[in-house]
Structure 1
Amino acid sequence: MSNLTKLNVLMCGTGEYTTGWTGSGASTSDKKIGVVGLTMFDLRRLGKVGNLGMVGVNGSKFPAIREHLQDKIGNAYKDMDTSFEEFPKQGKVDPEAYKEAINKLSPGDAVIVFTPDSTHFPICMYAIERGLHVLVTKPATQLLSHHNELIAAAKKQGVVCFVEHHKRFDPVYSDAKARAATLGEFNFFNAWMSQPKSQLETFRAWAGKDSDISYYLSSHHIDICCWILQDKAVPTRVVASAATGIATSEPYNCVPQTEDTITLLVDWQSLKSPKHKGTAVYTASWTAPLKSGVHSAQHWYYMGEKGDINVDQAHRGYDITVDDTGKTWYNPFYMKYSPSETGHFDGQRGYGYTSIETFIDASREVNAGTAKSSDYDGHGYPTIANTVLTTAILNAGRISLDEKRPVGIKKSGDEWILE
């Protein structure tokens, strides 16, 4: 791997997940110094990444972002360079600055997209059509038709396109998937994921306008369920229901169509046994209590014909109590922010880091000719092709809410479509 050429990377999006910086200042969540930027800076230190760029909409944010990154990352870890080229320049405001930034890249470079859901498709397509490898946060797209277009474009260009479903790299989830394979036919899956109401303040600019809580949170566990059931069962019908009233009230005042909690009920059909059908319930909320001790409450239950699996990702037997803030449950398996004994960043084993590094490694291997982009579809990775049913379920759920009806999912030729 060390003999592979360094990968030049453009980070699209300057928000919480990339930098730890939000529109109201430094994030107060469990991602206070971000994930993407920190990982890129460390991979550059380790020789896997070359030039770095970052693109947003408002160039006036960059001085504060640079100061934040230097303070929280550059000064916190040994040998960590937080420099990057910014777009748009000179404090300009440009919603299409990503085009200028992408145009400066060369085929074989990479783009990492962590922007509002509604912008994923145009940015990813613009990058893929120019021969760039792409890692996009979930949901890959809001429309199944757009997801299908990205599959075709990535295949045509021969580039790597991953969706950043980092939970596939969680050792507990990975082990659970393997054990589920021994439990016979699928019967029932139930997932819950929530974040505190304070997130509505962070996301007010787009909550209910550009996306919803199901796309934002349920995408995690819908993908895990699809991953477990890949080549074993397929979703056939989605019915959605929603709770409302909190997000649209004081002090959050989100737009009138904002849901608080969304539940998707999904029918699954076994591919091996016509008589075996399963059901899944995926629920997500961003109106959970403020001081529950975890930023994201998240657990799921899987039942097969020969046994079941119960996973609570938020409570792993590791909690800390502080006088001022009370008890908090931590998950260092995701991102470890405390430095090593030598003072360097020490989170390379976290699955948040591993998810991004896996994409970087795959892109470098394809550039070197030691692998083809299609190879990764068979490795269980969250490629754009392997994640299509996650988008199908999410898109069907949105239609079900808007049109108040069940929505069917079926395959037409080589493509999945909604009915």
Structure 2
Amino acid sequence: MCGTGEYTTGWVGTGASKSDKKIGVVGLTLFDLRRLGKVDKLGMVGVNGGKFPAIRKHLDENIGGAYKDMDLSFDEYPEQGKVDPEAYKTAIDKMSPGEAVIIFTPDSEHATVDNCASSIKQFKGTHHPIALYAIERGIHVLVTKPATQLLSHHNELIAAARKHNVCCFVEHHKRFDPVYSDAKARAQTLGEFNFFNAWMSQPKSQLETFRAWAGKDSDISYYLSSHHIDICCWILQDIAVPTRVVASAATGIATSEPYNCVPQTEDTITLLVDWQSTKSPKHKGTAVYTASWTAPLKAGVHSAQHWYYMGEKGDISVDQAHRGYDVTVDETGKTCMKYSPSESGHFDGQRGYGYISIEKFIDAARSVNAGVTKPADYDTHGLPTIANTVLTTAILNAGRISLDEKRAVGIKKDGETWVLE
């Protein structure tokens, strides 16, 4: 496990997260998969080894104390008392081909204030170097979204995974949400694509949390719109392809009191994307993807997330912030992960889509190791492999360039590789 923060452990440095991921997702899922016999030895990689005593205490109290038969043992990198931004190399060097790495590092982890130019070319992500280092050593990789900020880096990972014959998945967990999965199936019956509109937002308080990297190393479009852009690309796989992106942004809130983010931080980003039918030259569609981290503080939900799809023969509306069954807790708001134990006292959240997305990757890696399947097989299954998610990165990267260079950006296929114009 590369990355020891909220999504992995639920620990955010000052204590347990106040979000709905109070005991994490990745670590909890892998501890449970070990209980079920699907994984064995575990390790965690951070930058500061001094955090591990607090993380272990947090896990012991909130996982070990809550569920039966949970083995919470794991190796830690770097060692306590050491700070090492490249500790992931030490950890991966001790692994063997066929083992697996799950990457949940923030794109800002290695960034510095000196690297704050607004151009995407200056954004310094951690996903690409860690994933490439692992893949080149025959290690299967699951990387959180967005896989990379640059389309060129995404293409490198596709090529490396094929060369080294390993699974490389992107943790687009929304694909495993039963509502989204059902919507995709129904969209296949609606004929040619015409229009898609997505909105995703988080309250302004998130700017306090993300001030260290907001506008410097990533933006709200990469952070939030990546969810619904991937869902749209997934629905439109074999139906249409994106051809042109134009971006627009609202500003002024994030850069003002009390948030004081760097001058190039956008509040809200909208991408307008043209889509061309793969079967009918006359059918073109448009999609609008908007993401904001300046929603009202008392909006009632932590993440507003809804989208609308219109096809030739019908439409679909999805509102995942109000899904008909809500659990709201004073400390964390609405919860999506099932943390309550089963009747026997064991962890009982195996049906959550965050759990399923990790388990699908582990199952694929185990199957490839056993010689039952090949990594390329999963590209045909609709799973979020590195190859199947390339257009998500293409759209996000094109949107960033469009904002920075104030122009439309084309997307096209050059041979077998997607490129930007």
| Same fold (TM > 0.5) | yes
Moved more, 176-185 or 281-290: 281-290
Aligned to 1:14: 4
CA distance in 1, matches of 2:18, 2:254: 19
**In structure 1, what is the equivalent of residue 18 of structure 2?**
28
Matching residue's letter, 2:192: E
Distance 1:74 1:363 in 2: 27
Separation in structure 2 between the aligned mates of residue 414 and residue 227 of structure 1, nearest angstrom:
19
Deviation at 1:16, TM superposition (A): 0.8
Residue 109 (1) aligns with residue 99 (2): yes
Residue in structure 1 matched with residue 117 of structure 2 by the alignment: none
Could you tell me which residue of structure 1 aligns to residue 390 of structure 2?
Answer: 388
Q: Post-superposition shift, 1:50?
A: 0.6
Q: 1:342 corresponds to which residue?
A: 344
1:158-237 equivalences in 2 (<5 Å)? 158-237=165-244
Partner Cα separation in structure 2 for residue 205 and residue 23 of structure 1: 14
- In structure 2, the residue matched to 1:80 is 70
Q: Is the 8 A contact 1:20 1:31 kept in 2?
A: yes
Give CA-to-partner distance per residue, 1:23-45, whole Å, 9 cap, x none: 34321111111110110111011
Alpha-carbon distance between aligned partners in 2 of 1:243 and 1:72, rounded to the nearest angstrom: 40
The DSSP-based 3-state class of the residue aligned with 2:169 is strand
- Report what 2:114 is aligned to: none
Residue 156 of structure 2 corresponds to 149
SS in 2 for 1:49: coil
Which amino acid in structure 2 is aligned with residue 294 of structure 1? V
TM-score, structure 1 as length reference: 0.94
2:384 partner SS: coil
How far is 1:205 from its partner?
Answer: 2.0
1:372 — aligned with what? 374
1:125-180 CA deviation, whole Å, 9 max, x = no partner?
00000000000000111000110110000001110000000011111111100100
Which one of the candidate residues 317, 324, 341 is aligned to 1:317? 324
Change (3 A) 1:257 1:25: farther
Q: Structure 1 CA distance, aligned partners of 2:413 and 2:192?
A: 21
Q: Which residue of 1 aligns with 2:418?
A: 416
Report the CA distance shift for 1:64/1:251 in structure 2 as closer, same or farther (over 3 A): farther
CA RMSD of aligned residues (A): 1.4
Q: Aligned match of 2:127 in 103, 110, 120?
A: 120
Q: Does 1:271 align with 2:264?
A: no
Note closer, same or farther for the CA distance 1:60–1:321 as it changes in structure 2 (3 Å cut): closer
Secondary structure at 1:25 match in 2:
coil
Letter in 2 for 1:110: A
* Distance change in 2, residues 1:321/1:349 (3 Å): closer
TM-score, normalising length: structure 2: 0.93
Q: Is the 8 A contact 1:339 1:345 kept in 2?
A: yes
Asked if the contact 1:22–1:202 (Cα under 8 Å) also holds between the matched residues in 2, the reply is no
- What corresponds to 1:67 in structure 2? 57
Q: Secondary structure at the match of 2:126?
A: helix
Letter in 2 for 1:293: G
Partner residue in 1 for 2:112: none
Could you say which residue in structure 2 is the equivalent of 1:407? 409
Q: Does 1:284 align with 2:286?
A: no
**Aligned partners of 2:299 and 2:311: how far apart in 1?**
31
Give the SS at the match of 2:21. Answer: coil
> Does structure 2 conserve the Cα–Cα contact (< 8 Å) formed by 1:365 and 1:371?
yes
Query: Aligned runs of 1:294-313 on 2, under 5 Å?
Result: 294-313=301-320
**1:330 Cα deviation from its structure 2 partner:** 4.3
Q: Which moved more, 1:140-149 or 1:282-291?
A: 282-291
- Matching residue's letter, 2:44: M
In the aligned structure 1, how far is the partner of 2:249 from the partner of 2:62?
A: 39
What is the one-letter code of the residue matched to 2:271? L
Q: 1:210 to 1:365 in 2, by over 3 A?
A: same
- Aligned-pair CA distance for 1:290: 2.2
Structure 1 runs of 4+ with >3 Å offset: 319-322, 327-331
- Quote the residue 2:251 is aligned against: 244
Would the aligned equivalents of 1:33 and 1:73 in 2 still touch at CA under 8 Å?
A: yes
Equivalent residue letter for 2:188: A
- Cα deviation, residue 195, structure 1: 1.4
Displacement after TM superposition at 1:71 (Å) = 1.2
- Count of equivalent residues: 404
